[in-house]
Each structure stands twice: as C-alpha cells, then as structure tokens.
Amino acid sequence: MAEPLQWLDDGTPASARFGDRYHSSAGQGLDQARGVFLAGCGLPQGWAGQARWCVLETGFGLGLNFLVTWAAWRADPARPRLLHFVSCEAWPVSAQDLLRATPPDPEIQALAAELAAQFQGLVPGVHRLSFDGGQVLLTLLIGEAQAMLRAQRPLADSVYLDGFAPRLNPQMWSGHTLRAVARCCHRGTRLATWSTAGSVRDGLTQAGFKVEKVPGIAPKRENLHAIYDPHWQPHPPHPVLAEARLPEGRRCAVIGAGLAGACVAASLARRGWQVTVLDAAAQPAAGASGVPAAICAPHTSPDDSLISRVSRAGLRTLQQTLRCTAADMQGKAWDLTGVLEHAVGQSPRLAGDSAEWQAWSMHAPAERCRAAQLPAEAPALWHPGGGWVLPGPLVRRLLQQSGITFLGSTRVRQLKYDGEAAIPWRLLGADDPPLAQADIVVVCAGPHTQELVPEALPLQPARGTTSWGTRAQTPPGAPWPATPVNGHGMLIPHVTQAGEDAWVCGSTFERDLDALPLTSEEVAAAHQANRDKLSALLPALAQDLSGLFAHAGALHAWSGVRCTTPDHLPLVGPLDETAHPPGLWICTGLGARGATLAALCAELLAAHLHHEPLPLDAKLAQALSTQRLRHHKDTPAEKPPTR
C-alpha cells in the first residue's frame, strides 16, 4: 500500500517510518528544492544548449524537487530538448497525499496535478512517466536505492542527494549507496545535498567526489556541493545493453509503417531526428496494424512473470502516448474504459492485491461481471487501465508529427552501407536512384524483416483473422457487455468501422501461415473459430449473434500476418556491430500484443541508441534486446502465457 503520511500540527507532512519531516514548511520546501538542489547543481545554467539532461535523485519523497526542476525547464528558453529525471523511492506516497503536500504555488500545483494523474500503480520496479509531449521523462525506481541504481545504471549529469536524515535512514547515505551513485556519474557531474554530516562527506570523497561546504538554505546553516572528479581513472560502467554507436548525423530511415515503425519514428522525431518512413503499401497500417480494433490490457500471473511486467510497462507507455498524441481521438479511435478478463475454466491468481497492484488488475467485482452479462461469481479479472484502440488511426496520427516523412508504395529491396560516405546507408528499390539515405536504419517490417536483414532471425509468421459486424444487424436487446472482454479470444462491443457502429471479436492465431487473402473456406473456418471463442467468453451474447455467424456474408472478416518469436517477446535493438555495419536496428516480433507493446519498444530503442535511462527494468530491457540473438538457439523458450 502507499506510504501513509503524518500531518503535524503546523500542517507539514512527516514520515512515521523514519520519524522525520519531509520538509520544514511549504515555503522552506520550495526554497530548499530551488536553492539546495537546482541551484546547487548549477541549474538551469548548466543544461543550456544541451540536447538532453539527466538528473538523478536518491529519494523522490513528495516529488517537490522534480516539480521545481520541471518548472525551471519549462521557463528556460535555452532548455535541453529532453529532460530526464530519475528518482529512487522505496516507499511511494499516494497521489492524494502528494497533492495535499504540494506548496500553495499556482505553477507548482498545476504541475503536481499532472504528476498525480500518472502517479498510480507504483508496484516495485521501474516506472516511466511522461510529460510535456514526451520531452520531460520521469523514471521512478521503486525499491531500495542502492540495488536499483546498481541494476539500472543511469548516467547522470546532476545528482540530488536527498532523503531522511542520515541518523534516521543510514542505508540511504551509506558508503555502498554513495558508490552506487558515483557509478552513475561521469567526470564533472555535479551533486548537491542539504546534509553536511561527516559520514556523508567522507563517503562522497571515497567515492570520487570533490566536496565543499557552502552557505546553507534555511533552516540549515550549511549545505554540500560536490563534483565527481576522482583522482583515479574510473572503470567505464558496464552497460545494461550492448554498446550502440550514436552517429553524428540525425537522419533515420524506418522500414515499415505499422505500429512498430510509427512509434519508433515518433520517439526519434521527439529527440530531433529527421525520420523517413517507407512502406511497400500505399497507406500506413496496411499490414497487421490494420486490424479493425485491438484490446490493450496487462497480462497477469501469480509469480509476476516477465511478460506480465513487460505488459504493464507497455500499457503505461501506451496510455501516455494516447493522451499526449491522440487526446482528441478519445472515444473515436481509442478509449481506456477498462477491460474484463473472463478466465474461462480457470481460477485467476494475481501477484498482489494492494492498491498499487489493483491499479493494474484485481479480481473482478460482481458488478463488473454482471455488466458483461456474466454470473456475478464468474472467474474474472478487472483491468481498470485497459481499453481498446484502432491501430490504423493511431499510426496515421503518429506519422503526422513534425520531423517525420512517409513514403508509401515504396518497396525497399536492399540496404547498402558505405562507411566513407557522409550519409552511410542507402535504401535501394528495383532501380536507381536510392529511395532514401540515412545515418541509421530501423527495420520494423514484421514478418518481412528477415528479407532485409543479413542475419537469421528467430521470427515466425502467425496469421490472424477477426470477425466484425455492425450493431444495426444485431437483435434488439442483445446482452452487450459494458466494456471490452478478454480471455481466450476477445470482444470489443463498440467501435466505429467504415463509418458504422460496430463490434469486433476474435482472433484466430495460425502459426507458420502467411498466405493472404483467405479462401472462402478459410474465411468460414475463421468465423467458426471466433464464434467458438465467443461462446466460451460471453455465452449469452454468442447465442444472440449465432444467426449472424451462421449466415454466409453477414459478417466481415479481416486478416493479417503477425510476427512472433520463440520466446514470445519482441526483438528490439541494433544488430551485432562486430558482424554487421553500424546503425542497423530492428524492432519486430511484437506478436499479438503489438498495440500494448509498440510504444514501449520504441522508447527502449531510442533510450538504447542515445544512452538514456531505460524506460523499464534492466532485466526486462535485456529480455527484449537483440543481444539475446546470440543465445536464442541455446535458450529454452518461455512457455506461452495461458488464459
């Protein structure tokens, strides 16, 4: 559960766990954030003219240092394009307490409201929150600071050393933690803190910082400033992901205009790249991303398996993408209405049931089951942050962003690299001249990725067919659920297709099949398979729709070919530069979870390329990375998740 606050008689918040105040008063809290930390690290002057800046904080607390830094970034015309703020917190407070503790400053309160809107579901691990169109990225490391920093290894330009007093929370200020902080610094990284304890000064000195006392900000007489400048040559940090070369130029070619390609293009464009997206089809989302509608929901497992954790990170990133990029399309091309998961024939179990876990998934309340026309006691889960999305409109919106050019009806047949050329990569079609030139190439072509990549990839096609019809065709009084229902199959009860109010169900999953279009026999078989799934998922509705399924031509069928991998996880990152020219990347293998995972995979690729803080847990990043290609033949595939 969220860390409870104590409210003292003077209205200041305090921690019962550590017996200490978060700050002395509202005014002093702001003064400390601005004077001790922001100014103590030489900001905002220090980041002027930089492409990006990363602040590392050891204790997030009530978020005041983040809010003040964000406000300073907003006000600075010389601000970096991208501000990363990475903060550790073992005991996060609730969003309500965070708001209550915010000082009565209008600007800070407005930012705090934006923060509180995303400040939920903070189970142990890494959570990426996004603000100001994805240009301010808050990465919360929920766990013990030393362990989280050793695992994630973010590279910081500034460090806010904050937390409860060393005598009350000695672990936060221990030599081990300070050395973990130092390993996240480059020579010249500036650090600031309010604590001048001798143990802190000694620990920082031993970790490689040059430390000095400076006049303090009330109520402290002195504060501490430090610069990472060890008298020894520090070992370069061992990267979480394989080293990737960032080219001097900022031209990228993305092959494939589906969800993966559009999200990659958008992530790189936000970082200042000029991106050309090429696709053999005339319009974007012509492949698997052209599915009429998709459900977005977290996977659950009692042991919180790898795919469960990845799916939560993916859903959070998708939520932010939708609200930032396509807010005006809510209700038309997407909605986060929640998703009911009917675990037919199973007794669903969850990894946790605290309020933080319930923000993602919980045992479905009886009223949720009844709203789906299921028995109140049906074995089901409720995912409050889930929903549905029309991938096609989202892809088109993403490709409309500044810095992105779409080239349709453009089939890339060959990639050529010339290391001596100013722009080394050429993308060739059937004839000269080149279709495009680029500093890096990202292949997001789904099952066609292998055709352009000079390395055997463990990719597998999986053909899928959904069934959909219009609501006008259905019997009056049909028992439609209030929200999408997922499980072995899915139903989205209310979307717009071809200008009509429609419903979508399915889908089939035919491994190693990629032939399109379907024959009439295959269409009939797909409709029957989808009807069988719907009969188990929502028996009453399936009965009412049986006439439509039985009538040839009454329903529409959509078919596409997904791209999967043996371990059921995407492949994201560069191909091995010891065997291939530098700058050849892939983002593929998203399988049936493309809508949930595409935005996360794109942010992971961008973070890897730019050596930024990772948007998810380091072990999860490694599990998605192309660096596992070297070992995939010897590594047993994880069993597919069951529903």
Q: What is the pLDDT of residues 399-429, one digit of tens each?
A: 999 999 999 999 999 999 999 999 999 999 9
Task: Provide the CATH number for the domain formed by 332-389+461-564 in this structure.
Answer: 3.30.9.10
Q: What local confidence, expressed as pLDDT, does residue 492 receive?
A: 97
Q: What is the pLDDT of residues 569-612, one digit of tens each?
A: 999 999 998 888 999 999 999 999 999 999 999 999 999 999 99
Report the C-alpha gap between 280 and 451 in whole angstroms: 13
Per 3-state DSSP, what percentage of the chain is helix, strand, and coil (rounded to 5)? 35, 25, 40
pLDDT at 633 over 60: no
Q: What local confidence, expressed as pLDDT, does residue 631 receive?
A: 63
Q: Comparing C-alpha atoms, which of 622, 642, 643 is closest to residue 242?
A: 622
Q: Which amino acid is at 554?
A: A
Report the C-alpha gap between 161 and 178 in whole angstroms: 9
Diameter of the chain by CA atoms?
Answer: 83
Select 6-228's CATH number: 3.40.50.150, 2.40.50.840, 3.40.630.10, 3.40.50.10310: 3.40.50.150
153: left (phi over 0), alpha (psi -120 to 50) or beta: left
Angle at 80 between CA 78 and CA 84, to 5 degrees: 145
3-state secondary structure of 289: helix
Report the C-alpha gap between 467 and 507 in whole angstroms: 7
Is the preceding peptide bond at 433 cis, omega within 30 degrees of 0?
Answer: yes
Report the C-alpha gap between 481 and 469 in whole angstroms: 16
The answer to whether the beta carbons of residues 298 and 386 sit under 8 Å apart is yes
Q: Which residue has the tokens 């090429």?
A: 278
The answer to whether the beta carbons of residues 485 and 615 sit under 8 Å apart is no
Report the C-alpha gap between 256 and 262 in whole angstroms: 8
CATH 3.30.9.10 positions along the chain are 332-389+461-564
Backbone angles phi, psi at 288, to 5 degrees: -60, -25
Q: What is the pLDDT of residues 547-559, one digit of tens each?
A: 999 887 889 999 9
62: left (phi over 0), alpha (psi -120 to 50) or beta: alpha
pLDDT at 643 over 60: no
Report the C-alpha gap between 302 and 350 in whole angstroms: 5
Q: Which amino acid is at 500?
A: E
Report the C-alpha gap between 318 and 320 in whole angstroms: 5
What average pLDDT does range 390-394 have in this prediction?
97
Report the C-alpha gap between 131 and 115 in whole angstroms: 8
Tell me which H or E stretch contains 505: strand 500-506
Q: What local confidence, expressed as pLDDT, does residue 21 receive?
A: 84
In what side-by-side order are the strands of the sheet with 125-131?
Answer: 125-131, 136-142, 82-89, 52-57, 156-160, 185-193, 222-228, 209-215
Burial class (CB in 10 A: 0-12, 13-18, 19+), 174: middle
Q: Which residue has the tokens 């009917």?
A: 342
Inter-CA distances, 157 with 49, 106, 189, 209, 615, Å? 14, 29, 5, 14, 18
The answer to whether the beta carbons of residues 333 and 390 sit under 8 Å apart is yes
Least confident segment among 71-75, 151-155, 197-201, 346-350: 346-350
Q: What local confidence, expressed as pLDDT, does residue 295 receive?
A: 96
Say which CATH architecture domain 251-287+393-459+566-630 belongs to: 3-Layer(bba) Sandwich (3.50)
Q: What local confidence, expressed as pLDDT, does residue 551 receive?
A: 86
409's tokens: 């009806």
306's tokens: 């790898």
Q: Comparing C-alpha atoms, which of 189, 292, 248 is closest to residue 502?
A: 292
Q: What local confidence, expressed as pLDDT, does residue 146 receive?
A: 96
The answer to whether the beta carbons of residues 494 and 468 sit under 8 Å apart is no
Report the C-alpha gap between 617 and 141 in whole angstroms: 9
Least confident segment among 341-355, 413-427, 523-537, 614-628: 341-355
More confident: 10 or 600: 600
| DSSP line for 472-503 | GGSPTT----SS-EEESEEEEEEEEETTEEEE
CA dihedral 393, 399, 402, 404 (to 10 degrees): -170
Tell me which H or E stretch contains 506: strand 500-506
Q: What local confidence, expressed as pLDDT, does residue 636 receive?
A: 44
Q: Which residues pair with 7 in a beta bridge?
A: 13
Report the C-alpha gap between 183 and 181 in whole angstroms: 5
**Strand 13-15, strand 6-7: pairing:** antiparallel
584's tokens: 């050849």
Confidence grade of residue 641 (pLDDT, cut at 50, 70, 90): very low
pLDDT at 634 over 60: no
| DSSP line for 327-384 | GGGBTTTEE---EEEE-TTS----S--SHHHHTT-EEPPHHHHHHTTS-TT-SEEEET
Q: What local confidence, expressed as pLDDT, does residue 638 receive?
A: 42
Q: Which amino acid is at 179?
A: R
CATH 3.50.50.60 positions along the chain are 251-287+393-459+566-630
pLDDT at 284 over 90: yes
Q: Which residue has the tokens 């033949």?
A: 633
128's tokens: 């990426």
Q: What local confidence, expressed as pLDDT, does residue 498 receive?
A: 81
Q: What is the pLDDT of residues 331-364, one digit of tens each?
A: 999 999 999 999 988 889 999 999 999 999 999 9
The answer to whether the beta carbons of residues 38 and 224 sit under 8 Å apart is no
CA dihedral 630, 631, 634, 638 (to 10 degrees): -130
The answer to whether the beta carbons of residues 600 and 586 sit under 8 Å apart is no
The alpha carbon of 478 is separated from its chain's Cα centroid by a whole number of angstroms, namely 37
Report the C-alpha gap between 497 and 478 in whole angstroms: 19
**What is the dihedral sign for C-alpha 339, 344, 349, 353?**
positive
pLDDT at 616 over 60: yes
Report the C-alpha gap between 345 and 541 in whole angstroms: 18
Q: Which residue has the tokens 């892809």?
A: 395
489's tokens: 């199959």
Confidence grade of residue 246 (pLDDT, cut at 50, 70, 90): very high
What average pLDDT does range 26-31 have in this prediction?
78
pLDDT at 303 over 70: yes
Inter-CA distances, 346 with 12, 306, 311, 327, Å? 48, 21, 21, 37
Report the C-alpha gap between 415 and 437 in whole angstroms: 10
pLDDT at 632 over 80: no
260's tokens: 């993966």
